[in-house]
Chains A and B, each alone.
Chain A
Amino acid sequence: MSDTTHTGPVLAADGTPLKRSLARALRRQKLRALALISPLLAFILVAFIFPVGDMLYRSVQNGIVEDTLPRTVVALADWDADGGDLPSEAVYAAMAADLKDAAAAKTHTRVGSRLNYETPGLSSLFRKTGRKAKTFDIEGGAPWREALIDINDGWADAEVWRTIQTYSPRITPGYFLNAIDMQVGTDGAEMRPEDERIYMKLLKRTLWMSMLITFSCIALGYPVAWLLANLPMRTANVLMILVLLPFWTSLLVRTSAWKILLQQQGVINDILVWVGLVADDNRLVIINNQFGTVVAMTHILLPFMILPMYSVMQTIPPTYLRAAKSLGATNWTAFWRVYFPQTVPGIGAGSILVFILAIGYYITPALVGGTTGTFISNRIAFHISTSLNWGLAAALGAILLAVVLVLYWAYDKIVGIDNVKLG
């Protein structure tokens, strides 16, 4: 029996137990991997994730009313909006004092336009009253109820006060309700009047057109992917260039090409007139509508459908089809029962990718969509840069992002993010 044998844990060269030594090595490896990733992660968090999160917070943020009208918010808290009476003199006095401060700080128009999103007319009410508010004598001006109503009879409208009371809290569901065509009414959330419901219609149109584009891409992409996967390598590589060139060409170039082609005085109409299918004075309107958007976007997104389909089809051995046929299947049965089911993962991957990209498109619908072919993104852009209703833009964005993230999650489950291939 040798005395070097011992029953304790196995030791590494430096005398520490092997288990601990291995664990330390593993930990060091993990830390090194994280150290390599962390600069990028920090960059993406600061440059991308925080901005998006910050924007999403705007969809519920409503500090402006309380910040601008602090006294009114406190005084108005006990007022019973359903009682039918106007608020008490104390509320009016608080409002006068708040307006005087707000007018001095020039913030009264901002709160006015914020409240105007909910009840039209409030913007001008605040603007007009604010003009006189600078000279208010808070002590000597009482009674303020009569004085304010004297300046603008909007202050005698219980609806105005109800709006201010409803939108006093710092967090509001108002923008989200607005984004799904609802509003806060007398008894909780209710649908907006029929003629003001635009966002659900727009969302449905966006989803419907994205689906239409996805299906056109499947219909056009499937035969091409099949041909590419079954041709000899050399020919397939040459034809692949025809798919990859549009993929690499600038989006603006492709959109402008369609804009030029589809015009009433454009090449397509010229050819149709020349062939005699269309009369010269009756040229087709194929741009600035849904048709134009669908055609141009199908063209732009088609490579994103063909590439995943192709990479799946490449892995299917051609012998399967031959085996099916030799067992007596007709061409159609062999395709439908044997080949097609194996291509479903490719179709799924391509469809989700195309759908995700289509639903968030902005440039192409803005340029070839006219008024009927625009997407929800165009509305978001409108609210950010033109109407300045940022809360509503953020709420619409949050809804769009939620749809995209669900699809992204599905894509990750089905395909795996690691398996995304480019070119």
Chain B
Amino acid sequence: MSALPPYATTGQRIWYYAFRVICGLIFFFLIAPIAVVIPLSFNAQDFFTFTPEMLRLDPEGYSLKHYRDFFSSPDWQQALWNSLTIAPFATVLSVGFGTLAAIGLSQPHVPFRRAIMAILISPMIVPLIISAAGMYFFYSRLGLQGTTLGVVLAHAALGIPFVIITVTATLVGFDRSLTRAAANMGANPVTTFFKVQMPLILPGVISGALFAFITSFDEVVVVLFVGSAGQKTLPWQMFLGLREQISPTILAVATILVVLSIMLLTTVELLRRRSERLRGLSPG
């Protein structure tokens, strides 16, 4: 929407500004619920709303109490630790398998490409409750239910579609003559892969990894069924906290997670731009 032309009628002017106000309200709707959590987490009281002290910007109304609760509670610390151990392993599995498969899928001749793609993307499409229930029954039979390994495998399966999507998208712009040139100069396929192809598709692989990480880090339905008390992750603990007695510590956890997602978002955006620059797709 370019600037308003000088000959615009009053009606057009009104619509132009009204439209911007509407869009502003929608952006507000998108951001406000996330933004409001941050100041509320510094509340000195155990309330979920702004106290009069907070509105007066009185320092008395603010405190780090909920953060202290988070860092001193063994339940929350155990949950944080579980999340931080499960997510990286799941990510490594999804990225390892996923990158190989994405390279395979982007070859010029792949038999049953559509069917294979449909199967590999399906963990993203099948409702989580169905995946969770299926894994619960099947993994119990294998003795994996209630083990960290079971949760890692389940989360790896859920993260794979994201790796496949981001890495194949990067490979679309990959110039095949580069690998041929490397082979021509005597490099074997493994050297070609690590020295030529990998550095170029690395941004896509890293964003895929971040997606897989956040999928596992955020996931609660599958871990509720496949895990047991020993695998209680951060989202699980939050889910319990929200369903039973809702404790203000959740606000502090939410704020920490928002900061984490801002960091991830920034990284992914930087990588995307770098990848587009490398492939010469856009000047930006």
Contacts and interface: CB of A to CB of B under 8 A. Distances in A.
Interface of A: 26, 29-30, 32-37, 39-41, 43-45, 47-56, 58, 220, 223-224, 226-227, 230-231, 233, 237, 239, 241-246, 248-261, 263, 265-267, 270, 299, 302-303, 331, 356, 359-363, 366-367, 377, 380-381, 384-385, 390, 393-394, 397, 400-401, 404-405, 408, 412, 417-418, 420-423
B136 interface: yes
B40 interface: yes
B4 interface: no
Contacts of B214: 248, 250
B34 interface: yes
Contact of A356 (B120, B125, B220): B125
B235 A252 contact: yes
A252 B171 CA distance: 33
A209 B30 CA distance: 20
19 contacts: A29-B107, A32-B107, A37-B105, A40-B160, A41-B120, A44-B157, A48-B123, A48-B134, A54-B138, A250-B261, A255-B242, A259-B246, A267-B50, A380-B129, A380-B133, A390-B137, A404-B126, A408-B125, A417-B114
B127 A360 contact: yes
Contacts of B217: 250
A280 to B, nearest CB: 13
B130 A360 contact: yes
Contact of B116 (A41, A230, A244, A420): A41
B153 A254 contact: no
A390 B117 CA distance: 30
Given A252-B239, A422-B211, A397 B133 contact: yes
Contacts of A224: 23, 26-27
Q: Which of A45, A231, A377, A394 has the most CB of B within 10 A?
A: A377
A35 to B, nearest CB: 7
Contacts of A255: 242
Contacts of B220: 251-252, 363
Contacts of B100: 36-37, 39-40
Interface of B: 1-2, 12, 15, 19-20, 22-23, 26-27, 29-31, 33-34, 36-37, 40, 47-50, 93, 97-98, 100-101, 103-105, 107-111, 114, 116-123, 125-131, 133-139, 153-154, 156-157, 160, 162, 165-166, 168-169, 207, 211, 214, 217-218, 220-221, 225, 235, 238-239, 242-243, 246, 250-251, 254, 257-258, 261-262, 264-265, 268-269, 272, 284
A21 to B, nearest CB: 16
Nearest to B166: A422
A52 B134 contact: yes
B133 A55 contact: yes
B118 to A, nearest CB: 6
A408 B125 CA distance: 7
Contacts of A397: 127, 129-130, 133
Contact of B119 (A44, A248, A250, A366): A44
Given A49-B122, A250-B218, A397-B133, A37 B101 contact: yes
A36 B50 CA distance: 56
A241 B103 CA distance: 30
Contact of B130 (A223, A254, A401): A401
Contacts of A44: 119-120, 122-123, 157, 160
A411 to B, nearest CB: 8
A417 B118 contact: yes
B34 A257 contact: yes
Contacts of B154: 47
Contacts of B101: 36-37, 39-41
Contacts of B131: 48, 51-52
B123 to A, nearest CB: 5
Contact of B138 (A51, A394, A420): A51
Contact of B110 (A33, A50, A367, A423): A33
Nearest to A32: B107
B261 A248 contact: yes
A68 B20 CA distance: 69
Contacts of B168: 418
Q: Which of B108, B120, B129, B261 has the most CB of A within 10 A?
A: B129
B128 A362 contact: yes
B254 A253 contact: yes
Given A35-B104, A52-B131, A267-B36, A417 B121 contact: yes
A317 to B, nearest CB: 13
